[in-house]
Amino acid sequence: MMSISTSHKIRALSGASLGVLGALLLAAPAAAQPVQLGPVSVQDQTNGYQAESADPRRTAPLRDTPQTVTVITGKLIADQNLLNLRDVLTNTVPGITFTAGEGGGGYGDGITLRGYTATSDITIDGVRDSAQYTRSDPFNIQQIEVVSGAN
């Protein structure tokens, strides 16, 4: 009698395990079915702070220029409410210092870029500017470019 009840238990366990295995096999294809997602729309906009080109005399793209060129756009000047050249350069370009009539002489803007005087290296629309006067309003400036590196 003992062997019959053991055999009965084995059959019951086998039947239960086959039932669990069958349930797992039936559930697997449902999880493997691909899920269809709705379309995704990506839109881009620029904020106007990054300049694509610098000096119109340069034909190479700005990223291919072998110098450090910092371009401050008119939109950035307006958005930050920068009122004069001193504000624009000291708030946006690292390494620039302004001096005004210091050192026993001189007048106007004395511009120092990383320790070197840059007063005579200013150009407006490609024409060298002596910078011997104080510049004030940047209201009619499209962009300001600061070029560092080899001349």
The DSSP string of 70-117 is EEEEHHHHHHTT--SHHHHHHHHSTTEEEEES-SSS--SEEEEETTEE
Handedness of CA 139, 115, 130, 103 (dihedral sign): positive
Using the structure block, give the residue that is written with the tokens 């294809």: 29
CA–CA separation, 44 and 52 (whole Å):
16
- The token duo for 75 is 């939109």
At 38 the pLDDT is 92
Per-residue pLDDT in tens (0 to 9) along the chain, 151 residues: 455 566 666 666 666 666 666 666 665 555 567 888 999 999 887 777 776 666 666 666 767 767 777 888 888 888 888 888 888 888 888 888 877 665 655 566 677 887 777 766 777 777 777 655 556 567 777 888 887 776 5
Q: What is the pTM of this model?
A: 0.53
* Contact residues for 70 (Cβ-Cβ < 8 A; gap 6+): 92, 93, 145, 146, 148
At 41 the pLDDT is 92
At 39 the pLDDT is 94
- The token duo for 132 is 């011997």
Cβ-count burial of 87 within 10 angstroms (0-12 exposed, 13-18 middle, 19+ buried)?
middle
CA–CA separation, 83 and 66 (whole Å):
31
At 24 the pLDDT is 62
